[in-house]
Amino acid sequence: MKQLNDFKDSLGIFWDIFLLFAGAAVPGMFSRSSRWLKNRIIRFRLRNTVDMEHLNILKICSANPKYEYRDINTRVDDKELYIGFPEEFIARVKETDPDFHIHSDCSFDGSPDFQDIVDRTEIGELKELIAKHRALVADNFVQRANGCLFNRPKFGIYDIRFDARKGHAETPAVKIEFFKTDYFTHRVFRSIYNELKAADHPIAKLTPDNLNEGLQKYNAFTTSLGINAFVMANAKGGESVIFSKRSVHAAYAENRLKYNSTVMEGVSLTDCDTPNNVSLEQAVYRALMEELGLTRDLLSKYNTKINYCDFFLEKNYFEIGLTASVTMNSVFEETIRDLPAQDRELEIHKLHPVRKTKKALEKFIHKENIYPQGVFTLKMIMAREMIFLNLRK
C-alpha cells in the first residue's frame, strides 16, 4: 500500500488526470459493450422467424435496430402500368366520383397489350385474366362495394434491392424504384393474384431462397407499398402499444373489424418531396394525420420519434410492406383517442391500447383476430424494445 501511495505522490497531478480519464472511459466502454450485446441479441431474434410461418409473410430485409433516413433510397422511374377502366361504366362511376381517374391500357414498355408482362411472368393466360378481372373489379367500383370507392394515382414497386451493405452494423441500404399506377389497376392485379393463389401458382409459393428473383419476375403485382406503423404512448394501464380495430368499410371484407397496427397506409403520389423522390417520412406523417388526426405540430409537441425497421412481402395479397414504430411522449386518453381525423370513420372502428409487456401483448394477440401483417409488425418492432413475443398459442 505504501508503494502505491508513493507512486501516486510521484505522479502528482497526473494521477488525478489518469483517474479522471479512467472514470470517464469505463462507463463509456460499458455502454458500448451493452449496445453491442443488445444489437447482437436483436439480430439473432430478427433472423429467427420460425414461429411466423403461419402468417404467410416473407421478410425482405431488416435494419438493426432501425433504418436511418439516408439508408432508404427511393426513385420514381418512368415506368407506368395501367389497366383501362371499361368505357361502358365510366359515366356511372363519374356520377358518384367526378375525380375518378381514367387511363388507357398501358404496360411497362408503353404498349397496350401487356405482352412484356406475359413474357416476364410466364403467365400465358394473363391477358385473359386481365379481361376477366377488369370486368369483375369494375363492377365493384360501380356498386361501390368491397372498398372500391375511388380511383386515384398511386405507386407500385418496380424494383427493390437490398443486397448493398453499409456501416459497421451492416444495415442493408435499400433502393426502391417506383412506377406509377392507380387504385383500379391495383385491385385488378390483386383479384388476379387471388385466382392464381387458389390455383397453387408459383407466384404464391415464393420462399426466402427465390424471393429476390420472384419480386423482379412478378413486379406487375407489387402495385403498392404499405406503411404498417404502431404508435406507442402512455395510457391508463401504463406504457402501451395502440392497436386499431379496422372499420366495416375495410377494402377487403375478410378484414373488417380485425385488429391491426395503429395505422396502415399505402404510399401515394402525394408523398413525393421532389418529382422523382418518394418521402417515406411524409407517408407516415400523412397516415398519422388522416387516420388519427395527429398534425406535425402535435407530433413535435409530444417529442415523437419515428423508426423504420423492416421490409416484407405479405403473400396473402402479394403486397410489400414496411414496419415502423411511432413513439410519443403523451397520454393516449388525453391526446390520441378522441382526435377528429379525415379518414378515421372510413378506416378505423376503434383504438385499443395494450400494455407494452410480453405477457399483455401475447395474451392480446392470442385472443383477438389480428391481420397477419399487424402481428408481424408487432413482433419485429417489439424485438427492438427487447420484448420477444411468442406468436404460437
Asked if residue 262 has pLDDT above 70, the reply is yes
Asked if residue 23 has pLDDT above 80, the reply is no
Residue 114 pLDDT class (50, 70, 90 cuts): very high
pTM of the predicted protein model: 0.87
Q: What is the CATH architecture assignment of 50-71+222-385? A: Alpha-Beta Complex (3.90)
Percent of the chain whose predicted confidence (pLDDT) is above 90: 71
Determine the average pLDDT of the residues in 364-380. 95
Mean predicted lDDT score pLDDT of the chain? 88
CA–CA separation, 74 and 199 (whole Å) = 34
All 3 cell numbers of residue 387?
420484448
User: Which is higher by pLDDT, 168 or 91?
Assistant: 91
Residue 163 pLDDT class (50, 70, 90 cuts): low
Determine the average pLDDT of the residues in 348-369. 95
Percent of the chain whose predicted confidence (pLDDT) is above 70: 83
Strand 263-266 relative to strand 272-274, pairing: unpaired
Determine the average pLDDT of the residues in 198-226. 97
Asked if residue 9 has pLDDT above 60, the reply is no
Check residue 70 and give its pLDDT. 83
Asked if residue 100 has pLDDT above 90, the reply is yes
Hey, where are the domains in the chain?
Answer: 50-71+222-385, 75-221
pLDDT tens digits, one per residue of 301-315 = 999 999 999 999 999
- For 216, residues 6+ apart whose C-beta sits below 8 A from its C-beta are 159
Asked if residue 170 has pLDDT above 90, the reply is no
Determine the average pLDDT of the residues in 54-82. 92
Asked if residue 52 has pLDDT above 60, the reply is yes
User: Which of the listed ranges 37-41, 52-56, 86-90 does the model predict with the highest average pLDDT?
Assistant: 86-90
